[in-house]
Structure 1
Amino acid sequence: MIIVLLTYKVSTEELDTSIDAHRDWLMASIEAGRLLAAGRKVPRTGGMLLARGDLDQVKTWAATDPFAVNGLADYDFTEVAVTLTADGLDGLK
């Protein structure tokens, strides 16, 4: 599993011009089985993605995010080998 942390490089007003395309990309990624979870940082300075695949695959996929395509966010990738999960989260292993 790869944890992807986004850090916004622009104001939220500028970011919001691409939010619908970003959400469409997220939903398509869930349907394709690549994305497990996503959410905003609090306060709203970036976001978090939990993705399936190896590091190179996830980096290539993340580069297609409208936020990346439009230069709105920086991306930090951390690969994790999940060994323990709470009940109901076995799919993260």
Structure 2
Amino acid sequence: MFVINLHYIVPLDELDAHMKEHVAFLQKYYKEQVFIASGRKVPRTGGIILAAGRTKEEIEAIMQEDPFSTHGLAEVTVTEFLTSQTHPAFKKLLKEVFNS
């Protein structure tokens, strides 16, 4: 599993001009069953995406497609971690959808 950390490096109005493209990017990888959850940080300095089922290199390559990356709007860090404990419902979801 991976935690993808986006840190915005431009003013929010510049970022918001590309939000529709970014949401389309997210939806693509939800449909491909790569992304599990995503959302804004509080305060709004970036975002977090949870991903599963791929190697770190594949996730990094996917994130290069994000309009926030291609337009130089955010710095992206991918951290891989091994889940040792999960809520039973989450564990079931991972097995059903991601075969983890």
Q: Which TM-score applies when normalising by structure 2?
A: 0.89
1:51 CA drift (Å): 1.1
Which residues in structure 2 correspond to 1:18-33 (within 5 Å)? 18-33=18-33
List per-residue Cα deviations over 1:15-51 (Å, max 9, x = no partner): 0000000001101110011111101000000000111
One-letter code aligned to 1:68: S
Q: Which TM-score applies when normalising by structure 1?
A: 0.95
Distance in 2 between residues matched to 1:82 and 1:64, nearest whole Å: 26
Matched, 1:74 2:86: no
Distance in 2 between residues matched to 1:24 and 1:83, nearest whole Å: 32
- In structure 2, runs of 5+ residues without a counterpart are none
Matched, 1:41 2:38: no
Q: Tell me the equivalent position of 1:63.
A: 64
Aligned length: 93
One-letter code aligned to 2:45: T
RMSD: 1.1
Q: Secondary structure at the match of 1:44?
A: coil
Distance in 2 between residues matched to 1:31 and 1:78, nearest whole Å: 22
Distance in 1 between residues matched to 2:51 and 2:61, nearest whole Å: 12
Q: Where does structure 1 differ by over 6 angstroms across 4 or more consecutive aligned residues?
A: none
- In structure 1, runs of 5+ residues without a counterpart are none
